Amino acid sequence: MDFGRVTPAELEELDFKLPAEPLFNKKVLKGKPVKKPQAWLGCAKWGRKEWIGKIYPKGTKEALFLPEYVRHFNSIELNATHYQIYGPDTISKWDASAKGLEFKFCPKVPQAISHFSNLSPATAGPRTTSFLEGVLAFGKHLGPIFLQLSDKYGPAKRQALYDYLASLPTDLQFFLEVRHKEWYEDEAVRLELFDKLRELKVGAIITDTAGRRDCAHMHLTIPKIFIRFVGNSLHPTDYTRIDDWANRIKYWLDNGLQEVYFFMHMHDEALSPDLAAYLADRIEAVCGLQVKKPQFVKE
C-alpha cells in the first residue's frame, strides 16, 4: 500500500506515537474484559510470488497460493473484491480453501460502489446487492466487510454516505475508512461521523501509515477494531509502532474489546510476513491472545 508513503528522510523525523485514548471510546467499551476475545491477523493478498521460498514452499504454483496462505494467517483483507464483483461460484471456491479452519475473509467493497457511484441509491444499490450475494457464499468464514471511500469523498457528501450505510443489512458487520482530510480537520465533523457510525453499529477503520497520522484516529464506534497498518520495510520504527499497538490493544481488551482485526501492509510486501510474525508474538506476550502466525521455510 502506497497510501501515506514518505521519503526516507521524512521517515526519520516522524513522531509515530499513537494518539491519546479518546473519551469517546467510553461510550462503546464497557470497562471490563469479555470472556473470549478474538484476534485475527492477515495481509491484503494471497497472490504474492515474493513469498515463494519464504513462507510458501519453493515451486508453489499460483493455484496453490490461497491454500498456502491459510496455513499462515487466520484472516485476509480481501482487496480482490475491490476491483470486480465476484459471484457465489468463485467465492465458494475461495471459501473451500479454508474448510475446517478458523478463518475470516474480510472483503473490500468494490470501487464501482465506493469510488464511482457517489453512493446514490440508483447505482450503488443494485451493485451492492450483487456484491453481497457473492460474498455471502463465504458463510461462516465471512468477516467484516469494509468500505473505503475515495480520498476525494469529503464531508460535503456525508448525508449520501449516512443514507447508504443505513441501507446496509444489519446482520452483517461493516467498517468504514475515510481518507479526505476534512473528515479529521474539523472536530465537529469528525465526532458527528463517529457518532453516526456508533448509531448504525458500523466500525471505524484505523489506518496507521507514516504520511497520514490523522487516519490513526483511535476512535472505536463498536467494540471491535479493524487496523490497517502500513510498515516501512522493517525500519526500526516498524517494531516500536507494533509494540505501541500491542499495549493499546491490551488496554482495549481490558476494557471490553471483543475482536481485533489487524492487517499488515508494507511498501515492500515481501517483508509483510516478518512484521506479522513479530506482531503475533507481541499480541501473545502482552495481551495473552494466541494468533496464527507465518511459518518460514527452513533452508
Mean pLDDT, residues 86-111: 97
Percent of the chain with pLDDT over 70: 100
Residue ranges and CATH numbers for the domains of the chain are: 33-287 (3.20.20.410)
Amino acid 115: pLDDT: 94
pLDDT at 16 over 70: yes
Identity of the amino acid at 47: G
How do residues 183-193 score in pLDDT, each as one tens digit? 999 999 999 99
| 43 exposure class (CB count in 10 Å sphere: 0-12, 13-18, 19+) | buried
How do residues 62-81 score in pLDDT, each as one tens digit? 999 999 999 999 999 999 99
How do residues 239-268 score in pLDDT, each as one tens digit? 999 999 999 999 999 999 999 999 999 988
**Confidence at 299, pLDDT banded by 50, 70, 90:** low
Locate all alpha helices (DSSP H) within the chain, ordered by sequence.
Answer: 8-13, 65-72, 88-96, 111-114, 121-135, 158-167, 182-185, 187-200, 236-254, 272-282
Amino acid 128: pLDDT: 97
Cα–Cα dist 216/228, whole Å: 9
Identity of the amino acid at 204: A
Q: Which of 122-126, 223-227, 278-282 has the lowest mean pLDDT?
A: 122-126
Amino acid 216: pLDDT: 97
List of residues 6+ apart from 272 with CB closer than 8 A? 43, 48, 231, 264, 265, 266
